[in-house]
Amino acid sequence: MAINVFVPTFRIDEILQEIRICLEKGWTGLGFKTVEFENKWKEYTGLPNAHFLTSNTVGLHLAVHILKKKFGWNDGDEIITTPLTFVSTNHAIMYENLKPIFADVDDTLCLSPESVEARITSKTRAVMYVGIGGNTGQYEKIIAICKKRNIKLILDAAHMSGTFFKGKHIGQESDVSIFSYQAVKNLPTSDSGMICFADAELDKLARQLSWLGINKDTFQRFQGKEGGYRWKYDVENVGFKYHGNSIQAAMALVQIKYLDEDNNYRNQLASIYDDLLKDTPEVEVVKVAENCQSSRHLYQVFVKKRDEIIQHFYDNDIFPGVHYIDNTEYSMYAYGSGTCPNAARRSNEIISLPLHLKLKKEDCILIVGVLKSGIAKFLKNKSLV
């Protein structure tokens, strides 16, 4: 049977039961289960604010939109970001007519602090940091740079549900952190995400702007908390329809119960891979940063002749991933081409080995066996450069 890079595990009976509660109550929208899940997420992470959305992508946009509005940024102002990410990260900057300035990555595939510092200009307003695969990289240094230079820190924590740093869940140190609960992430739902602002006032604004700028949500009105004026509300801003709904939240309420257990299993698989690869110098494993208890969304390695090796995997019914192609290779971000040499080089060497809850030790052995036979075929006794 084919082995894929990702396969979600849903606790089906429990999820159906939670969804049934919504259907029986006659409430599937914003409010009710979304609030229950926001409270659970705050309790789990220790983050002060959390607002549930339909995806991480809309959360990234909302984050940039709100910071721009609140702090009076101008069109053309700059956000320093990574070329090694899913395009959502950088599109969110473009949505607001700001300019993504690409900084290079280090060998954890997260932003290099030195490169970030070198890109700061008088127009820099924020750093967009991505914890690739759940890894924190050199995040502490990035936090220090942002504080010192008085620029905002946006954390794209799409891969970081259940990542802890020095014992605390990630996200406490940024101005805003955005998580993804898309179907193959560590806390999988159908599609959804969470935006967590440090500042309660910005959280309030996020709630309003994710519901078209309306100052009262429909669940408040449905419950009749507004006296006789259920139908009455004000629209204070041009907002978006980005809020999550109770069906997505019902899924998330079940999945969060298993998050630590699932991440622990992912880490066990990663240790098995580490062990199987320890005597294979042709394969460089991406290391998890010190003090980082990673969610282990990904298990990434670097290998020369990557494309041939991936084809060899395909020929053996194994379908690994690539996270990610250097975004400056895409036409719309080509202006950054050549500015991030490490990202460009690593982008051609990255493979994400399959990592999900249905994998067993025997699968890892099989996968690494195929990787090694690919190496023997394409790399052994040949120059590695």
Ligand X SMILES: Cc1ncc(COP(=O)(O)O)c(C=O)c1O
| Packed helices 259-277 and 361-378: angle between N→C axes, nearest 10 degrees | 40
Name the CA dihedral angle for 301, 80, 90, 335, rounded to a multiple of 10 degrees.
-90
- Of the pair 156, 203, the CB lying nearest ligand X is at 156
Amino acid at position 340, single letter: C
- Of the pair 98, 158, the CB lying nearest ligand X is at 158
- Of the pair 60, 205, the CB lying nearest ligand X is at 60
SS3 per-residue string spanning 304-354 = CCHHHHHHHHHHCCEECECCCCCHHHCHHHHHHCCCCHHHHHHHCCEEEEC
Q: Within positions 27 to 56, which residues make up the interface with ligand X, using CB under 6 A? A: 55-56
* Closest C-alpha to 182, from 353, 30, 57: 57
Residue 293 in 3-state DSSP? strand
- Does 245 contact ligand X by CB under 6 A? no
Other C-beta atoms within 10 Å of 303: how many? 22
- Only one of the segments 31-39, 152-160, 205-213, 220-228 lies at the binding site for ligand X (rule: CB under 6 A); that segment is 152-160
Q: Within positions 126 to 145, which residues make up the interface with ligand X, using CB under 6 A? A: 130
- Does 57 contact ligand X by CB under 6 A? yes
- Does 187 contact ligand X by CB under 6 A? no
- Of the pair 156, 262, the CB lying nearest ligand X is at 156
Using the rule CB under 6 A, which residue among 85, 108, 255, 293 binds ligand X? 85
Is the Cβ–Cβ distance between 92 and 57 less than 8 Å?
yes
Q: How far is the CB of 317 from ligand X (least distance, A)?
A: 24
Other C-beta atoms within 10 Å of 366: how many? 17
- Does 182 contact ligand X by CB under 6 A? yes
Q: How far is the CB of 110 from ligand X (least distance, A)?
A: 11
Q: How far is the CB of 188 from ligand X (least distance, A)?
A: 10
Q: What is the DSSP string of 126-175?
A: EEEEE-GGG--TTHHHHHHHHHHHT-EEEEEETT-TT-EETTEETTSSSS
- Of the pair 180, 328, the CB lying nearest ligand X is at 180
- Only one of the segments 23-31, 153-161, 343-351, 375-383 lies at the binding site for ligand X (rule: CB under 6 A); that segment is 153-161
Residues lying near ligand X in the complex (CB under 6 A) are found at 55-57, 85-86, 88-89, 130, 156, 158-159, 180, 182, 193
